[in-house]
Amino acid sequence: MKFRIAIIGAGNVAWHLAPALEEAGHEITEVYARTSEAAKEVTKRLYTTEPKLDLDFSESRAEIFILAIKDDTVAEVADSIILPEGSILVHTSGTLPLEILSYSSASFTGIFYPLQSFTAGQKMDLSEVPFLIESSDQEVLQKLKKMAKSISNQCFIVRSKDRKAIHVAAVFASNFSNHMIRISEEIMQRQGLDFEMMKPLIVETISKSLQIGAKKAQTGPAIREDYETLEDHFRFLNFNPELAEIYRLISQDIIDS
């Protein structure tokens, strides 16, 4: 089953999702953004889709409308968008509930959340990206499942409260771990050292955590309760009290676990 789809948004998720859906055989009818320049960043990756600069979709041929926008704009856009009869409106947020779409003009609503970190310009194979879907309507749920399965091997029906837990876990696994790598990079740069030497360690750490589990894979002075080394590291981090506090909190959590 192929769908006619409109994308509302032109950020990281839209940049990846729109071409993947088109490649799977779906028609992307429109891409909405607040500026034509932003919309064209997505439409230039598609065959015939035109940018759209207003939220009046009353004459659109699309059946499914995907809100691929920032969480704090979903409610406003959902309430403002004008949709045709029989339309399905979904958002791609990991944390917002289905109910946030309740006051939209859509006939049906749902959630189409890709559990992945997206960066525009960095190409990605979506075939292994888990898609978490939800709808109160069974027919809509089946359509979302078919749409997800057309671009990915992994599709899960997940309730809003469970999706929020997944999103929190994802923040720890992805966002926080990436931030730790950035801190590592800054420490190396401060000393005039090449960050390249850290890359094999990072790759091995992630690989081992996935293979044997993070608890078994944990190493370092905190898990050994090597307080002498920990104190030495605290002193080194005196140049940045905030980093020293992050180091202390995480080390203590490792010890407590």
Q: At 18, which helix (H) or strand (E)?
A: helix 12-23
pLDDT of residue 89: 98
Phi and psi (nearest 5°) for 11?
Answer: -90, -155
How far is 131 from 110, CA to CA, in rounded Å? 13
**End-of-domain residue from the set 115, 134, 158:** 158
1 pLDDT tier (thresholds 50, 70, 90): confident
Tokens of 83: 């949709």
For 196-217, how does the pLDDT look when each residue is reduced to its tens digit (9 = 90+)?
999 999 999 999 999 999 999 9
Does residue 18 share a domain with residue 70?
yes
For 122-176, how does the pLDDT look when each residue is reduced to its tens digit (9 = 90+)?
989 999 999 999 999 999 999 999 999 999 999 999 999 999 999 999 999 999 9
* Residues 37 and 59 sit within 8 Å (Cβ to Cβ): no
0.75 exceeded by the pTM? yes
Average pLDDT score over the chain: 97
50 pLDDT tier (thresholds 50, 70, 90): confident
Tokens of 118: 């997206």
Residue 117: strand, helix, or coil: coil
pLDDT of residue 145: 98
100: domain CATH number is 3.40.50.720
How far is 233 from 13, CA to CA, in rounded Å? 39
Strand partners, 5: 28, 64
* Total count of domains within the chain: 2
Average pLDDT over residues 6-31: 97
Does residue 232 share a domain with residue 122?
no
Q: Where are the beta strands (DSSP E) in 43-201?
A: 50-52, 64-67, 88-91, 108-114, 131-134, 155-157
Residue 144: strand, helix, or coil: helix
Tokens of 138: 């069974």
Tracing tokens 């676990």 back to the chain, one arrives at 257
Does residue 181 share a domain with residue 96?
no
**End-of-domain residue from the set 103, 126, 158:** 158
DSSP 161-197: HHHHHHHHHHIIIIIIHHHHHHHHHHHHHHTT--GGG
Q: Where are the beta strands (DSSP E) in 9-68?
A: 27-32, 50-52, 64-67
Does residue 168 share a domain with residue 140?
no
Q: What percent of the chain has pLDDT over 90?
A: 98
pLDDT of residue 191: 97
34 pLDDT tier (thresholds 50, 70, 90): very high
The residue count of the chain comes to 257
239: domain CATH number is 1.10.1040.20
Range of the domain at 182: 163-256
How far is 100 from 90, CA to CA, in rounded Å? 10
pLDDT of residue 48: 86
**End-of-domain residue from the set 158, 191, 209:** 158
Does residue 116 share a domain with residue 237?
no
